[in-house]
Structure 1
Amino acid sequence: MSKSSTSRGFRKVDVDQYDEDNFEDEVDESQESGPDEQEVSGYLMQGNNKQAFQSVLLNPPIHTKSAAAKEAASQLVLRVLNSMKTSEIQSAIDSCDTDTLDVLMKYIYRCFDLGSDGQCCASLLAWHEKVLAKAGVGSIVRVLTDRKRL
């Protein structure tokens, strides 16, 4: 026989706190404002494209809500990607881990929205091909399903 329970303690649990749609990240937005434009521009002026590539991917503005910061970071990444020669692409991608490749793929998709000329899109397609070869289709799936947008 089952016991009759008069306990109503379970009703004090707030089940709405576990709803995915109500979830909000508690992240300090001041720590992630995007890549340092002066540092990256300095590397580009020196002709050190690989170092500029590595530093531009270090601090993506994923957690910020500022559209201007995201736009500026995307423009800077587009400038770095276009400055690299086709022969340098593979060595730059080989130096990245999986998380960095996912960030790069996010930037590539974001830059597709920004670029209007054919030369820019051709360069981005070359980058996309190389990143896809290294990271696989899983990178595309992670980028498209991630809620944190650039």
Structure 2
Amino acid sequence: MSLHQLLQEPPYDAEQQDKQRIYEQVINSLSDTADNKMKEVCSNLDTDQQDALMRYIYKGLENCDNSLKLLKWHGHLSDVAGLGCIMRIMSEKRKRVL
């Protein structure tokens, strides 16, 4: 499944094992993407997908999963989506958990 598809409908209300499976697929997809393609991928996502990707990036950083690559993704996504992406995630009243 492509990253675009994985981010289309994040499993916010799914069972924990389903969330974990999709999280691992997203992290693997991010890890497999060449550095020079990151900005292009981020640009091709809509706002909801960008927000979901940022949530996965933060979860990956929290879990120390390939932190260097995730920091690169964070930089590219922040450039494309702006600080609003980060602010929406940090200021939500109801945390969406992935």
User: How far apart in 2 are the matches of 1:126 and 1:88?
Assistant: 11
Which one of 131, 142, 147 corresponds to residue 88 of structure 2?
A: 142
Corresponding residue of 1:56 = 6
Change (3 A) 1:87 1:94: same
Which digits, 9 at most, give the CA deviation of each residue in 1:19-72, with x for residues without a partner? xxxxxxxxxxxxxxxxxxxxx2xxxxxxxxxxx2212212211122x2222211
Corresponding residue of 2:68 = 122
Corresponding residue of 1:21 = none
Change (3 A) 1:114 1:77: same
Corresponding residue of 1:75 = 24
Q: Whose relative contact order is higher, 1 or 2, with alpha carbons under 8 Å and at least 6 apart?
A: 2
Which one of 99, 104, 111 corresponds to residue 48 of structure 2?
A: 99
| Larger-gyration structure (1/2) | 1
SS in 2 for 1:57: helix
| Uncovered stretches (5+) of structure 1, i.e. residues with no partner | 1-39, 41-51
> What is the number of equivalent residue pairs in this alignment?
96
| Uncovered stretches (5+) of structure 2, i.e. residues with no partner | none
User: How far apart in 2 are the matches of 1:91 and 1:141?
Assistant: 22
User: How far apart in 1 are the matches of 2:35 and 2:68?
Assistant: 11
- The share of aligned pairs that are identical, in percent, is 26
Give the structure-2-normalised TM-score: 0.88
Change (3 A) 1:68 1:81: same
Q: Runs of 4+ in structure 1 displaced over 3 angstroms?
A: none
